[in-house]
C-alpha cells in the first residue's frame, strides 16, 4: 500500500516513507527484507526496460535509503556487541532450516530443551565459530538441500501450505488454545469449530478480498502488465 501511494504521488518523501515501512517490517520479521529488496529491484528493472519513457533512479534510491535507515542502527549495534556483521538477527538460518531439510518432519517437531540445544550445536560441531557463521552454515545447508532434492522440497512446501490452510494455530513453545481456559479475551479471539477457525478463518478471506483492488490500482499506475 505504501509503494502504491508513493507511485501515485511521486513525491520524494513518499518513497522514503515506503522504504521506512519496509525497514521496520524487516526489523519485526527479518525475512521481510526479501520483499523490500524485491520492490527496489522492480524499480531498477523498470528503468532498464526498453519501454521506459524516462530514466529516474531516485525512487529506488530513496526506497533503499529508507530501508537502510531502519536497519543500519541494529546492524551497527550487533557489530559493537558481538564484533560480527549481522544484519538484523542470527536466527534466520536455523529457522529456515527447520522446515527445509531432508528430516523436516522431525526438526519441525523439536521443542525447546535438549533436542533444540543439540540442533543449535550442529553448527558448532560442523566448524562454526560464532553466531554469524552458524547462521550462514544453516543457510548453506538449506540451499544445498533445495538444490539436491527439489522434488522433496516441493512436496514439503505443499505439506506446509496444507497446514497453513488448515487454519489451526500450530503450537511451538506454547499452545495458544490452552490460554482460552484462563483468559476471557483469548476465548473470544482464538477458537475453532470444525474446519473454521478464528483468527485465520477471518483474516485469510479478508486478505483475498484485498488483493484485487491492489492489483487493479497497480495496473492503473503501470506497475504490473495489463
Mean pLDDT on 170-188: 80
- What is d(CA 187, CA 202) in angstroms, rounded to the nearest whole number? 16
In the structure grid, which three cell numbers stand for residue 109, read together? Answer: 517437531
Which pLDDT band, with edges at 50, 70 and 90, does 72 fall under? very high
More confident residue, 79 or 224: 79
* Burial of 101 per CB tally in 10 Å (0-12, 13-18, 19+): buried
Percent pLDDT > 90 in the chain is: 22
- Burial zone of 184 (CB within 10 Å; 0-12 exposed, 13-18 middle, 19+ buried): exposed
pLDDT at residue 183, as a whole number: 85
Which pTM does this prediction carry?
0.65
pLDDT(5) > 60: yes
What pLDDT digit, counting tens, does each position of 28-49 carry?
888 788 888 898 998 888 888 7
State pLDDT tens for residues 80-126: 988 888 888 888 888 889 889 988 888 888 887 888 888 888 888 88
The pLDDT tens digits for 96-109 are: 898 899 888 888 88
222 pLDDT band, cuts 50/70/90, is low
**Alpha-carbon separation of residue 125 from 83, 128, 129, 203 (angstroms):** 22, 7, 10, 42
Give the C-alpha separation, 46 to 40, whole Å: 10
Local structure of residue 193 (DSSP, 8 states): E
Which region among 89-98, 168-177, 182-191 has the lowest average model confidence (pLDDT)? 168-177
Q: Which three cell numbers stand for residue 44?
A: 531498477
Instruction: Report the alpha-carbon distance of residue 184 to residue 191 in Å, rounded.
Output: 12
Q: How far is CA 214 from CA 36, 205, 211, in A?
A: 17, 15, 5
Amino acid at each position: 500500500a505504501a509503494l502504491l501511494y508513493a507511485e501515485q504521488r511521486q513525491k520524494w518523501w513518499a518513497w522514503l516513507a515506503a522504504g521506512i515501512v519496509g525497514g521496520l517490517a524487516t526489523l519485526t520479521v527479518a525475512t521481510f527484507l526479501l520483499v523490500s529488496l524485491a520492490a527496489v529491484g522492480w524499480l531498477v528493472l523498470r528503468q532498464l526496460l526498453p519501454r521506459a519513457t524516462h530514466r529516474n533512479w531516485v525512487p529506488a534510491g530513496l526506497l533503499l535509503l529508507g530501508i537502510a535507515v531502519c536497519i543500519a542502527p541494529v546492524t551497527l549495534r550487533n557489530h559493537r556487541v558481538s564484533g560480527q556483521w549481522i544484519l538484523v538477527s542470527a536466527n534466520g538460518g536455523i529457522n529456515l532450516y527447520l522446515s527445509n531439510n531432508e528430516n523436516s518432519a522431525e526438526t519441525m517437531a523439536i521443542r525447546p530443551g535438549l533436542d533444540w540445544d543439540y540442533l543449535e550445536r550442529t553448527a558448532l560441531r560442523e566448524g562454526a565459530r560464532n553466531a554469524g557463521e552458524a547462521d550462514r552454515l544453516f543457510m548453506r545447508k538449506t540451499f544445498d538441500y533445495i538444490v539436491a532434492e527439489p522434488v522433496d522440497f516441493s512436496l514439503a512446501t505443499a505439506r506446509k501450505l496444507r497446514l497453513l490452510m488448515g487454519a489451526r494455530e500450530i503450537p511451538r513453545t506454547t499452545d495458544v488454545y490452552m490460554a482460552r481456559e484462563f483468559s476471557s479475551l483469548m476465548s473470544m479471539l482464538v477458537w475453532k469449530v470444525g474446519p473454521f477457525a478464528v483468527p485465520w478463518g477471518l483474516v485469510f478471506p479478508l486478505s483475498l478480498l484485498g488483493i484485487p483492488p491492489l492489483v487493479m490500482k497497480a495496473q492503473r499506475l503501470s506497475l504490473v502488465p495489463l
